[in-house]
Amino acid sequence: MRFEFHPLALAEYQEAAYYYAGCQPGLELRYMAAVERVTSS
Tell me the pLDDT tens digit for each residue of 1-41. 777 899 999 999 999 999 999 999 999 999 999 999 998 87
For residues 20 and 31, the answer to whether their CB atoms sit within 8 Å is yes
For residues 5 and 13, the answer to whether their CB atoms sit within 8 Å is yes
Average pLDDT for the chain: 94
Q: What is the pLDDT of residue 12?
A: 97
Q: What is the pLDDT of residue 41?
A: 73
Q: What is the pLDDT of residue 13?
A: 96
pTM of the model: 0.82
**Cα 8 to Cα 29: distance, rounded to the nearest angstrom:** 20
